[in-house]
Amino acid sequence: MKSGFDAFEAVIGLEVHAQLLTRTKLFCGCPASFGNEPNTNVCPVCLGLPGSLPALNREAAGKAVLLGLALDCSISRRSVFARKNYFYPDCPKNYQISMYEKPICSGGVFRLGEEGKTIGIERIHLEEDAGKLIHGDGGSSLVDFNRCGVPLLEIVTRPDLRSGRDAAEFLSGLRRLMRYLGICDGNMEEGSIRCDVNVSIRERGSSSLGTRTEIKNLNSMKAVEAGIEFEIERQAKLISSGGVVSQVTSCWDAGMRRLVPMRSKEEEQDYRYFPEPDLPPLLIDDMTICKAVLRLQELPDPRRRRFQEEYGLSPYDSAVLTAEKGVADYFEKAATVSRNPKTICNWVMREVLGEMKRTGIPAERFPVLPESLARLVELVEEGAVSGRAATEVFLEMSATGCTAEEGIKRLGLEQISSPETLAQYVDAVVLENPDVVERYRKGEIKLLAFLVGEVMKKSEGRADPRAAGEMLAARL
């Protein structure tokens, strides 16, 4: 907290909505995809037409269980869908099917950062998304129902976060975990993750909770951090000057860096929750849990630590490499067949990730197989190709899917280390640079690097620089 308000401590809890990566919606067979022509992915069920009945998409339930297990939650063997009633144009049924008293997962933990601060997970439940209102000029609005019924996970934390930074870190960790598990694409700009935050402050060291305010729709990591910091400061100023915090809900305006009030506690809606009569309770059997356990395998955090220990990588490199499962698998495959995991790490960090980013091809389908990358690195170590030329070979491999050897041949980049051929270049460079040679002989030994550079230029990068340096030194 800003200086001057040190007497206070912030208390923050998040409610995160994550769109599940399922092919179809939560209660009907409509595609759950984003970006289609408005109102094309709809049917009587997701439009709430009379007489239509929902049927649960089990894939969504399986993904909820997966996240619940990854966050050490208890999984309810029997959870209950509930109707949350409200009237708004983005919700054609006038109620949302959610879970209330019996969520699918509860009581988990999330480990934040290296110090291992733990953030309690209150609950995770399944619910359906609402449609999207597009507000035009002149007071008219359009509605797109494609998003109606898309499966969401709502993840609610305990009030264990203490700063905007904490909250942003939690959210990016959760995002990384969900992407890793393949249950959410994590695309915040497209609204795949949306976050509401609850903020209160209290005297440092106190164990009671102050009155909280809620900020809705913080839709980027930056907004989460900035909105919270803004609200903490507002409350601290208010209390310091003798005021009291009232329980309000507001919206963060990122452009203007201000909070726009939406409603106070008195205007809080009564959703009149009741068990959904059209759906049976959701039963999770042993098989669903076993399948989820098998899918969990190794999570990003332990894997990051293992990469540091097992391959001697830096914390930064390990974090980048384990951010996505595909990339982590790619690195690990190459590293295990290579003698030099650190070199493999450098190649993956620079060339491989660079090409993946440029071409948009994911690690699973990347044309340079991990084994081929390991072979290329080996050829550099053997001196068959120079490090600089290897980058070109790599690009050729990536473009055509050829092997390292084929690429080197095709581009004519075999490294020259035979003394006969090397001697021709060395002799020519010595002849062409008499004054440099003169100065070198008078003691400016640093000029050797320049002469090696000339040999490299002449050989179009193919000469073995170490052999060329040795030959030059001997010649002079």
The H or E element spanning position 83 is strand 81-85
- CB nearer to ligand ADP: give 158 or 304: 158
Binding of residue 198 to ligand ADP (CB under 6 A) = yes
User: What does 43 interact with, of Zn ion, ligand ADP, none (CB < 5 to 8 A by kind)?
Assistant: Zn ion
User: What does 12 interact with, of ligand ADP, Zn ion, none (CB < 5 to 8 A by kind)?
Assistant: ligand ADP
For helices 370-382 and 387-400, give the axis angle rounded to 10 degrees: 160
Binding of residue 284 to ligand ADP (CB under 6 A) = no
- CB nearer to Zn ion: give 30 or 348: 30
- CB nearer to ligand ADP: give 123 or 179: 123
Q: Residues 168-197 vs ligand ADP: string with x where CB under 6 A? A: ------------------------------
User: What does 158 interact with, of ligand ADP, Zn ion, none (CB < 5 to 8 A by kind)?
Assistant: ligand ADP
Q: How far apart are CA 379 and CA 385, in angstroms?
A: 6
Q: Which residues 33-92 are close enough to bind Zn ion by CB under 5 A?
A: 43, 45-46
Q: How far apart are CA 102 and CA 283, in angstroms?
A: 12
At residue 158, the 3 state secondary structure works out as coil
Q: Which residue from 24, 79, 98, 200 is in contact with ligand ADP, where contact means CB under 6 A?
A: 200
- CB nearer to ligand ADP: give 5 or 330: 5
Bridge partners of 214, per DSSP, are: 198, 249
- CB nearer to ligand ADP: give 123 or 325: 123
Binding of residue 14 to ligand ADP (CB under 6 A) = yes
Binding of residue 130 to Zn ion (CB under 5 A) = no
Q: How far apart are CA 120 and CA 107, in angstroms?
A: 7
**Helix, strand, coil proportions of the chain in percent (round to 5)?**
45, 20, 35
Contact yes or no for 8/182 (Cβ under 8 A): no
Residues 6+ away with beta carbon under 8 Å from 201:
8, 9, 10, 11, 210, 232, 235, 236, 239, 245
By CB under 6 A, the count of residues binding ligand ADP is: 15
Smallest separation, CB 334 to Zn ion (Å)? 44
Q: Which residue from 156, 184, 404, 426 is in contact with ligand ADP, where contact means CB under 6 A?
A: 156
Binding of residue 32 to Zn ion (CB under 5 A) = no
Residues 6+ away with beta carbon under 8 Å from 168:
221, 222, 224, 225
> By CB under 5 A, which span of 26-34, 74-82, 109-117, 183-191 interacts with Zn ion?
26-34
The 10 Å Cβ neighbour count of residue 315 is: 12
Please state whether beta strands 151-157 and 8-19 pair in parallel, antiparallel, or not at all (unpaired): antiparallel
Binding of residue 157 to ligand ADP (CB under 6 A) = yes
Smallest separation, CB 191 to ligand ADP (Å)? 20
Can you tell me which residue has the tokens 């001997």? 474
Q: How far apart are CA 231 and CA 88, in angstroms?
A: 28
Binding of residue 83 to ligand ADP (CB under 6 A) = no
Binding site for Zn ion (CB under 5 A): 28, 30, 43, 45-46
Binding site for ligand ADP (CB under 6 A): 11-15, 156-159, 198-200, 209-210, 212
